[in-house]
């Protein structure tokens, strides 16, 4: 499947049930690049991070190749004058050269062609040429290990996609010879039954409604929720991993 089209059939679940990003991440960015500044949010999806960047006072170009995802971001954020929706990719943003102060990539870098996107980031960046690669990652603990086992057993695509395919060495190579800073921030969601199942279905590797394998994986996830929910809620813990670098050398 074309990576840019993977989420077309799960926009609503993605927009409603994917987590946002920690305030501490926004604070680090503000310390390095005070607002107002211009940020290209590459692979901006439904606008989750873009919304937080706008709230911090930045001008945001949300670059998203997937039409339904981009339309949802426009619905959510189109009324804000500092938000600009762009139909583009990491490799061909369509933005002007030297037009943005920073690039953010939240839950998206693992889909990019790294050589071409590095060239494109170098073209559009000016000034500090700041780049942040961001992932919310599930914390490895008993609860999430059980959740992970269900995905491994019941979602065949799970092992083929995701952040795990990008190593620290890959990140270092992307920015070489420039140094890379690594940050970790705790984060979490508290989800009711609808939110938990919506969060499950927001992942492109989980068979969606009507697709082969959907009912078995959802049945297992419903049983998982029933085993572990307390007062009708389950905590979904994350560690937000952030790579930050100045793309000065291309």
pLDDT of 229-238, one tens digit each? 999 999 989 9
Q: Within a 13 Å sphere around the CA of 166, how many CA atoms are in the beta-carbon half?
A: 22
Range 123-141 burial, b when 16+ CB lie within 10 A, else e: ebbeeebbbbbbbbbeeee
User: Which CATH class name applies to 3-139+163-188+237-246?
Assistant: alpha beta
**Percent over 90 (pLDDT), the chain:** 76
**Could you tell me if 246 and 168 are in contact, meaning their C-beta atoms sit under 8 angstroms apart?**
no
pLDDT of 8-55, one tens digit each? 566 888 889 899 999 999 999 999 999 999 999 999 999 999 999 999
Give the three-class secondary structure for 234.
strand
| Per-residue model confidence (pLDDT) at position 15 | 86
| Per-residue model confidence (pLDDT) at position 9 | 61
Choose among 169, 162, 168, 147: nearest CA to 217.
147
Question: Tokens 């949802």 label which residue?
Answer: 72
Identify the band that residue 157 occupies on the pLDDT scale cut at 50, 70 and 90: confident
Cβ neighbors of 146 (< 8 A, separation 6 or more) are: 224
Q: Read off the DSSP letter of residue 36.
A: S
Alpha helices (runs of H) in 44-135, residue ranges in sequence order: 48-55, 67-77, 114-124
Domain boundaries, the chain: 3-139+163-188+237-246
Choose among 161, 188, 134, 154: nearest CA to 25.
134
| Per-residue model confidence (pLDDT) at position 249 | 53
Identify the band that residue 161 occupies on the pLDDT scale cut at 50, 70 and 90: low
Distance in angstroms (rounded) separating the CA atoms of residues 130 and 142: 37
């Amino acid at each position: 499947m074309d990576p840019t089209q993977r989420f077309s059939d799960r926009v609503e679940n993605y927009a409603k049930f994917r987590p946002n990003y920690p305030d501490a991440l926004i604070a680090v960015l503000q310390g390095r690049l005070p607002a107002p500044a211009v940020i290209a949010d590459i692979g901006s999806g439904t606008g989750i991070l873009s919304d937080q960047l706008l709230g911090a006072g930045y001008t945001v170009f949300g670059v998203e190749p997937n039409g339904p995802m981009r339309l949802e971001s426009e619905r959510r954020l189109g009324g804000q004058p500092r938000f600009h929706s762009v139909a583009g990719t990491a490799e061909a943003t369509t933005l002007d050269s030297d037009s943005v102060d920073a690039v953010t990539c939240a839950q998206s870098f693992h889909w990019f062609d790294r050589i071409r996107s590095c060239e494109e980031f170098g073209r559009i960046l000016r000034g500090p040429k700041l780049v942040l690669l961001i992932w919310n990652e599930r914390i490895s603990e008993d609860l999430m290990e059980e959740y992970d086992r269900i995905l491994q057993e019941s979602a065949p695509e799970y092992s083929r996609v995701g952040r795990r395919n990008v190593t620290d060495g890959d990140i270092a190579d992307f920015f070489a010879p420039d140094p890379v800073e690594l940050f970790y921030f705790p984060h979490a969601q508290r989800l009711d039954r609808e939110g938990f199942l919506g969060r499950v279905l927001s992942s492109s590797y989980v068979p969606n409604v009507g697709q082969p394998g959907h009912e078995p994986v959802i049945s297992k996830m419903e049983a998982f929720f029933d085993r572990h929910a307390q007062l009708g809620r389950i905590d979904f813990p994350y560690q937000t991993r952030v790579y930050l670098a100045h793309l000065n050398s291309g």
